[in-house]
Amino acid sequence: MSEVTTAKKKRVELLFAAFLLLVGIIVFVDASQLQVTYSQSDVIGPKTVPFVVGGILVVSAIALIITVLRGNLAEGEEGEDVDLNQPTDWKVILPLLGIFAVTILIINWAGWVISGTLLFFGTAVCLGSRRWVLTFLIALVVSLGSFYGFYVGLGIKLPAGILSGVL
Amino acid sequence: MDTFNLLMDGFASALTPMNLLFAFAGVMLGTAVGVLPGIGPAMAVALLLPVTYGMETSSALIMFAGIYYGGMYGGSTTSILLNTPGESATVITAIEGHKMAKAGRAAQALATAAIGSFIAGTIGTALLVTIAPFVVKFAVSIGDPSYFAIMVLALITVTAVLGSSKIRGFASLGLGLAIGLVGADPVTAQDRLTFGIPTLVDGLDIVVVAVAIFAIGEALWIAAHLRTTPAKTIPVGTPWMGKEDWKRSWKPWLRGTAFGFPFGALPAGGAEVPTFLSYVTEKKLSKHPEEFGHGAIEGVAGPEAANNASAAGTLTPMLALGLPTNATAAVMLAFLMMKGIQPGPLLFENEPELVWALIASLFIGNTLLLLINLPLAPMWAKLLKIPRPFLYAGILFFATLGAFSVNMQAMDLWMLLLIGLLGFALRRFGLPVLPLILGVIICPMAEVRLRKTFQLSNGDISGLWSEPLAVGIYILIAVLLSLPLWIALFRRLRGKPAVSEDAIAIDHIEVPSDEAGAGSNQPTNTSGLKGSDKK
């Protein structure tokens, strides 16, 4: 591995360690704002456990920073469809997250069938599916299928949204 | 015998035609989802939870038992045919199993895995039946300090003993505990880490967290590094075994079971250690040690049995103490809590018919699995060829569906996305997933025990070790944490004993085998399969 990518990897991982540190500090700050009223039945109060948790996070974050600076970098998780020789492909991830966010935003208004179709179709296309019609048909089938399957089979009513009355 | 009668009642309530249908559906669904590449047993179970939402509790239990065993067997199938361990416990199966498959013995590998799983699962569940009542009796007698110590032990072992990087393990544990803190404090009802968001007051739904970490995190991670040419699978006929295979398999099955169950049943569970021990033992005892590394059937039979027996063992602390020790048990606990069942010693007293129906369901699910999966293996193998965009879009879709249908709140989906991104980061930065998920579940339980402990001791810290059992457990924790030091010392004093070599190798086995797997995936694929890929 070239030195440039190692340096960059190091920086990204330090950023993650900083995130851990931040979470630890947030846990501390949040806990310190709790009110403690001493009572016989609750001697250690609501603060103790959050303080311990915050402590674990802060200590492990600092230890991680030291480890990373010493050059012990993380290995990404392996998997059958995972090619670790490629860097993270943001051109797939960002649109995919976008689709996901849009789905959540419209779910109450548009209902499950429309937002579910969008979610399946959108993410499949992001992941490289180019058979548009087939992808769309599958998306529609799983959305409709899950809507009716949940309704008829499980008695769970997913929101129909603007299609209520039609479905 | 009392236990026996209770179990028979359990069978009676589980063996109605309707429930058998649910068990059948559960096994089919569990295997179908578990066999999909990229889906481990825990994810399979988490994804299929919503199917049981609207069901009556006893039917949901029996279906869930089917899903549980189906998901696990599906994972083994994937390991053997694709060299893709869905979780660390099947890494060992993949080593020999995939070699066997490549040598044209996929049918035998699948058969020994299926029959071994069945035998180990049945013996394991029988042991669960025998042991659980004692554990319950014991659990009723121990107090809060010991309970707290046991929970600490469970967290420490998954964090410090099983993972390869302890620091990253503790970071993951810390994140999990922090997520577990979210919501109203159990004693004073003050909001913790809710940031003024009303829906967070009840805490994060464990189903949402599990689905986010397992399904969304994994799918995002794979999406970011998707192989352009997916690994090829090996076609397979109906699994069968010759006389010689039986002869070579039955002892490893039993030995694997003997390794697996105790490790699973201890609150320091995990299937990695017993599968590895079983592999090493079989290699030592085998008459064909030269075959190991090239597809030895003992190397599939033993670890597979150990894996399944350990899964059955895991149910002992899960049901009797309410303490999950692996990812699948964690999801199972979430499922039970969703159904309003609180596992623990009181469960056996208050709702014996439910517990025993569940245990009877495990026997039934396990048997159905064997009957269904042997003939259907070729069909499952076809599922491995599903186009990857559809597969991962499907995982995201069903994960969203599952998380949404818990409460029908868009807020849950934002949490799903957020924690999913955290799951992505865990995989990116080499943090193990298990400490986080157990941290989320155990944190609130452990806090309640801790506060009761101090209530009893009037705030005196010595209350923590006021019971002999608690003292013993803390000593055990200290020994476990200092284990690497002991091993180093031991080696220096006695040269290089074989035992410590093995113990050390457990830490490292995943790394080399994974690398070997990923490396050998591409170039060594059997040729001539490509034509059958597309129709």
* Contact assignment for B224 to A74 by CB distance below 8 Å: no
Within an 8 Å CB–CB cutoff, is residue A77 touching chain B?
A: yes
Within an 8 Å CB–CB cutoff, is residue B425 touching chain A?
A: yes
Residue B398 lies inside a defined structural domain of this protein:
yes
Residue B509 lies inside a defined structural domain of this protein:
no
Q: How far apart are CA B220 and CA B215, in angstroms?
A: 8
* Min Cα separation B302/chain A (Å): 24
Yes or no: say if B401 and A116 are a contact pair by the CB < 8 Å rule.
yes
Averaged pLDDT score across all residues of chain B: 82
- Give B1-50 pLDDT, tens digit per residue: 578 888 888 888 878 888 888 889 999 988 888 888 777 778 888 888 87
Smallest CA-to-CA distance from B365 within B78, B107, B81, B73 is with: B73
Find the helix or strand (DSSP H, E) in which B184 lies: strand B183-184
- Give B345-390 pLDDT, tens digit per residue: 888 888 888 888 888 988 998 898 888 878 888 888 888 888 888 9
H-state helical runs in B142-271 = 144-156, 166-181, 206-211, 217-224, 243-265
**Region B393-412: what's the mean pLDDT?**
88
Within an 8 Å CB–CB cutoff, is residue A117 touching chain B?
A: no
Task: Give the per-residue pLDDT at B531.
Answer: 35
Which of A49, A101, A154 has the CB atom closest to B181's CB atom? Answer: A49
Q: How far apart are CA B534 and CA B525, in angstroms?
A: 17
Looking at the structure of chain B, the number of domains it has is 1
* Contact assignment for A57 to B401 by CB distance below 8 Å: no
Of the residues B429, B442, B525, the best mutation for testing chain A's interface (the one with the most A CB atoms within 10 Å of its CB) is: B429
Q: Which string of b and e fits B450-488 if b means at least 16 CB within 10 Å? A: bbbbbbebeeeeebbbbbebbeebbeebeebeeeeeebe
Q: Which DSSP letter does residue A45 get?
A: T
**Region A20-42: what's the mean pLDDT?**
86
Reported ipTM: the value is 0.92
Residue B86 lies inside a defined structural domain of this protein:
yes
Residue B488 lies inside a defined structural domain of this protein:
no
Smallest CA-to-CA distance from B147 within B449, B388, B371, B381 is with: B449
Smallest CA-to-CA distance from A130 within B388, B293, B20 is with: B388
Residue B504 lies inside a defined structural domain of this protein:
no
* Contact assignment for A107 to B185 by CB distance below 8 Å: no
Residues 436-455 in B contacting A (C-alpha not used; CB under 8 Å): 443, 446-447, 450-451, 454-455
Determine the structural domain holding residue B280 and report its residue range: 2-481
Q: Which residues of A fall within a CB distance of 8 Å from B432?
A: none
Q: Residue B404, SS3?
A: helix
Residue B493 lies inside a defined structural domain of this protein:
no
Task: Give the per-residue pLDDT at B500.
Answer: 42
- Kindly tell me if the per-residue pLDDT of A1 is higher than 50: no
In sequence order, which residues have a C-beta less than 8 Å from that of residue B19 and are 6 or more positions away?
A: B13, B58, B59, B62, B361
Burial of A102 (0-12, 13-18, 19+ CB in 10 A): middle
Q: How far apart are CA B218 and CA B423, in angstroms?
A: 7
Within an 8 Å CB–CB cutoff, is residue B221 touching chain A?
A: yes
Within an 8 Å CB–CB cutoff, is residue B231 touching chain A?
A: yes
Yes or no: say if B238 and B374 are a contact pair by the CB < 8 Å rule.
yes
Greater model confidence, B528 or A87: A87
Residues 44-73 in A contacting B (C-alpha not used; CB under 8 Å): 44-46, 48-50, 53-54, 56-57, 59-61, 63-64, 67, 72
In sequence order, which residues have a C-beta less than 8 Å from that of residue B291 and are 6 or more positions away?
A: none
Q: Copy the structure tokens of residue B362.
A: 């495990």
Q: Alpha carbon B358 to chain centroid distance? A: 18
Ramachandran category for residue B526: left, alpha or beta (phi over 0 → left; psi -120 to 50 → alpha): beta
Residue B531 lies inside a defined structural domain of this protein:
no
Within an 8 Å CB–CB cutoff, is residue B84 touching chain A?
A: yes
* Contact assignment for A135 to B410 by CB distance below 8 Å: no
In sequence order, which residues have a C-beta less than 8 Å from that of residue A52 and are 6 or more positions away?
A: none
Residue B382 lies inside a defined structural domain of this protein:
yes
- Give A93-144 pLDDT, tens digit per residue: 899 999 999 999 999 899 999 999 999 999 999 988 888 999 999 999 999 9
Within an 8 Å CB–CB cutoff, is residue A98 touching chain B?
A: no
Q: Copy the structure tokens of residue B498.
A: 């074989």
Greater model confidence, B420 or B69: B420
Smallest CA-to-CA distance from B96 within B303, B251, B299, B271 is with: B299
Q: Which residues of B fall within a CB distance of 8 Å from A63?
A: 167, 170
pTM exceeding the 0.80 threshold for the entire prediction: yes
Q: How many CB pairs under 8 A join A and B?
A: 243
Q: Which DSSP letter does residue A82 get?
A: B
Residues 7-26 in A contacting B (C-alpha not used; CB under 8 Å): 13, 16, 19-20, 23-24, 26
**In the block, which residue shows the tokens 């490549």?**
B102
